[in-house]
Amino acid sequence: MDNLNIKKVGVVGCGLMGSGIAEVVAAAGYDVVVLEADSELLDKGNKLIDGSLAMSVRRGKMTEADITASKGRIKYTLNMADFRDCDLVIEAVTENMELKKKIFNELDQACKDGAILATNTSCLSIIDIASVTGRMDRVLGLHFFNPVPAMKLLEIVRTIATGEATLETAKAFGQSIGKTVVIAPDIPGFIVNRLLMPFFLEAIRLVESGQASKEDIDRAVMLGLNHPMGPLKLADFVGLDTACFISEAMYKEMSDTRFAPPVLLKKMVAARRYGRKTKRGFYDYG
């Protein structure tokens, strides 16, 4: 697959998603530059990538030689000027519009004219992020799924200003890193979260109203719809704090009560029952 001259890829933010994106892009043979906010976070991101690569060897998916080659292609930096010769930069910082706009404004100054700038946002308006740049035709969403090395889907989110050439390059790039791409609209939730959120929220409302148990809801969806995991287990996996944030953002944008967070979800977040990451959500993981 012709990847239309993308050779070097920048990744901003090396947390859960950024580390996965950097790992997958480097494994596909691209040079990668990873930027973090400070040296401690950069070191933490480096360890996340190395840990995940080591896991791939243990699972027989990569050889030691593959790992050495991947690691050799990743450069870690605290200086955005190191993106100057990147052909594509993927932003994966914390889900906050002001922060993303600030970073896109800086990227627009630091990157060469032809470079494509992409955001991995889960639910923010991509045209709003693009609007702070002088290259709206070269900005789009590249929405990866967690865990990035395992999940096949890449939603390519096209805004009303994204150019045809940018879209074609992004499609070819997505396929070159082993993902199956779909083109999604720049609407709250894109495709996957647009469908998933009402499903999560309705399952939570059923538990909240006491009409069905969480176990029966999950069992019914797994066996009746052939899903690998029920919605409440999946919500615990995604993180109830994340699900609540996305639900609030979608409700704010659309004023549609189907997307409003149920009181039970807000209370669980207030109690820090975020799901697997805090060892307690709808289920216990202690």
Ligand X SMILES: NC(=O)c1ccc[n+]([C@@H]2O[C@H](COP(=O)([O-])OP(=O)(O)OC[C@H]3O[C@@H](n4cnc5c(N)ncnc54)[C@H](O)[C@@H]3O)[C@@H](O)[C@H]2O)c1
Minimum separation from the CB atom of position 234 to ligand X (A):
11
Q: Does 95 bind ligand X (CB under 6 A)?
A: yes
Minimum separation from the CB atom of position 266 to ligand X (A):
19
Question: In this chain, which of 121, 159, 169, 247 binds ligand X, going by CB under 6 A?
Answer: 121
Annotated catalytic residue within 23, 36, 91, 155 = 155
Q: Does 92 bind ligand X (CB under 6 A)?
A: yes
Q: Does 17 bind ligand X (CB under 6 A)?
A: yes
Residue 98 or residue 164: which is nearer to ligand X going by CB? 98
Residue 36 or residue 87: which is nearer to ligand X going by CB? 36
Annotated catalytic residue within 3, 46, 193, 247 = 193
- What the block records as the tokens of 18 is 């950024």
Stretch that binds ligand X, among 1-9, 95-103, 168-176, 218-226 (CB under 6 A): 95-103
Q: Does 137 bind ligand X (CB under 6 A)?
A: no
Question: In this chain, which of 6, 8, 9, 13 binds ligand X, going by CB under 6 A?
Answer: 13
Stretch that binds ligand X, among 8-16, 159-167, 250-258, 274-282 (CB under 6 A): 8-16
**Contact yes or no for 191/217 (Cβ under 8 A):** no
Residue 222 CB-density burial (10 A; 0-12 exposed, 13-18 middle, 19+ buried):
middle
Rounded Cα gap, residues 130 and 43, in angstroms: 29
Question: In this chain, which of 3, 70, 122, 159 binds ligand X, going by CB under 6 A?
Answer: 122
- What the block records as the tokens of 103 is 């970073």
Using alpha carbons, select from 94, 74, 190, 195 the residue that is nearest to residue 142.
Answer: 190
Question: In this chain, which of 52, 77, 105, 146 binds ligand X, going by CB under 6 A?
Answer: 146
Establish whether 193 is a catalytic residue.
yes
Q: Which residues of 41-63 are buried (b: 16+ CB within 10 A; e: fewer)?
A: ebeebbebbbebbeebeeeeebe
Partners of 89 in beta bridges = 10, 117
Annotated catalytic residue within 40, 122, 176, 255 = 122
User: How many other CB atoms are found less than 10 A from the CB of residue 128?
Assistant: 15
Residue 129 CB-density burial (10 A; 0-12 exposed, 13-18 middle, 19+ buried):
buried
Minimum separation from the CB atom of position 121 to ligand X (A):
5
Residue 13 or residue 189: which is nearer to ligand X going by CB? 13
**Contact yes or no for 72/51 (Cβ under 8 A):** no
Establish whether 248 is a catalytic residue.
no
Site for ligand X in 37-76 (CB under 6 A): 37, 41
- What the block records as the tokens of 87 is 């052909």
Question: In this chain, which of 35, 217, 268, 269 binds ligand X, going by CB under 6 A?
Answer: 35
Q: Does 18 bind ligand X (CB under 6 A)?
A: yes
Rounded Cα gap, residues 162 and 184, in angstroms: 12
**Contact yes or no for 38/78 (Cβ under 8 A):** yes
Residues of this chain that interact with ligand X (CB under 6 A) are: 12-18, 35-37, 41, 92-95, 99, 103, 120-122, 144-146, 238
Q: Which residues are annotated as catalytic?
A: 122, 143, 155, 193
